[in-house]
Amino acid sequence: LFAAMPSPTSYRFEGVRPCLSKAGIVAQVGPGVTDVEVGDHCVLAFNSACGTCDRCSRGRAQLCRIRMKTMRIRMKDKDGKDMRQMGIGCMAEYTVVDRPSVIKVDKSIPLDKASLVGCCVTTGVGSVFNKARVEPGSTCACFGTGGVGLNVIQGCKIAGAKTIIAVDINDLKLEGAKKFGATHVVNPTKDGDPVKAIKTIVRDGVDYAFEVIGLPQTNEKACNFSCAGGTMCMVGVAGAKDTMPMPLVLNEKTFTSAIYGSSNPRRDFIKLLDLYQGGKLMLDELVTKTYKIDQVQSAFDDLFAGVNLRGVLVMGAQPKM
């Protein structure tokens, strides 16, 4: 199994252990499952979709009625007691998941790269295509260029945006953002107020502003990145009790948000991996470093130090194809 490291910002919430995104090989199939075989390669969706409930049927698979079931405890220890795990249980050589979490993928795709599609790529690119619906020739800004933000940026590039402004306090991430399609970068610790900095690049503000950090203060700023009539899309997950002032109706802005890139894993994982195989989506460049499972502590140290675009944990050998 291969797992991409999550966002360190997710650790702000006490008691919550974020699930990682994961890819692997099917080792065993439970009763009643007829369309997945031992040896199949798959990417696991933590926000899974049954495909048949009223929400899935109405094209809102990201809000599927059963999606939270992936969070239930599915493993027992040798004494039959429930084992604690979060989500799809990523930091292990084996995990047990529900059938809807399993998306079969082409065996020629390296699993360490495919694992990224389980969260940050789907969330970032999906927010651009499925929710904000960025148009060719438009102007965009992305506040926060971690694993998810970089994928908002490459999504905007694929969508044909003419101006893409990356905003982050970490220069290493901003360097990465340039590789992923940013036309301009802003570091508020050096360049001052990012709203002013953005308006020196695009006079009235951008058509599409994305917040990909998850803080009330950065959400408020990102509202002001967008022009009158523009769209602000919240991707970062703020605390349940956080609040944010909204600008007045006068500027007719659209505020929206996207969970899991408003994606349907069955449709979008395959689409994204097709783009990767066609050379249009960058996954290789997203992995700065891979770690063996016994190096998990240094993977977390590097995560909190912000030195990787994404780190990937490797729980076994990459299969030879």
Ligand X SMILES: NC(=O)c1ccc[n+]([C@@H]2O[C@H](COP(=O)([O-])OP(=O)(O)OC[C@H]3O[C@@H](n4cnc5c(N)ncnc54)[C@H](O)[C@@H]3O)[C@@H](O)[C@H]2O)c1
Question: How far is the C-alpha of 187 from the C-alpha of 223, rounded, in Å?
Answer: 18
The entry of Zn ion, ligand X, none that residue 173 binds, CB within 5 to 8 Å by partner kind: ligand X
User: Given candidates 4, 23, 64, 209, which one binds Zn ion under the rule CB under 5 A?
Assistant: 64
Total binding residues toward ligand X, as defined by CB under 6 A: 29
Contact flags string 53-92 toward ligand X, x per CB under 6 A: ----------------------------------------
Question: How far is the C-alpha of 117 from the C-alpha of 38, rounded, in Å?
Answer: 21
Q: Kindly indicate which of the ranges 23-31, 165-173, 274-282, 292-300 contains the residues binding ligand X, using the contact rule CB under 6 A.
A: 165-173
Give the closest residue to 8 by CA, choosing from 121, 176, 120.
Answer: 120
Contact flag: residue 148 with ligand X (CB under 6 A): yes
CB atoms within 10 A of CB 118: 30
Residue 13 φ then ψ, to 5°: -90, 115
The entry of Zn ion, ligand X, none that residue 62 binds, CB within 5 to 8 Å by partner kind: none
CA angle 105, 302, 265 (to 5 degrees): 20
The entry of Zn ion, ligand X, none that residue 181 binds, CB within 5 to 8 Å by partner kind: none
In this structure, are residues 18 and 6 in contact, taking their beta carbons and an 8 Å threshold?
yes
User: Given candidates 118, 214, 230, 265, which one binds ligand X under the rule CB under 6 A?
Assistant: 214
Question: How far is the C-alpha of 232 from the C-alpha of 212, rounded, in Å?
Answer: 11
Contact flag: residue 131 with ligand X (CB under 6 A): no
User: Given candidates 120, 121, 166, 232, which one binds ligand X under the rule CB under 6 A?
Assistant: 120
Contact flag: residue 53 with Zn ion (CB under 5 A): yes
Contact flag: residue 281 with ligand X (CB under 6 A): no
Contact flag: residue 92 with Zn ion (CB under 5 A): no
> Edge to edge, what strands does the sheet with 21-25 contain?
102-104, 41-44, 21-25, 2-4, 311-314, 289-292
Contact flag: residue 48 with ligand X (CB under 6 A): no
Q: Compare residues 256 and 295 and give the one whose CB is closer to ligand X.
A: 256
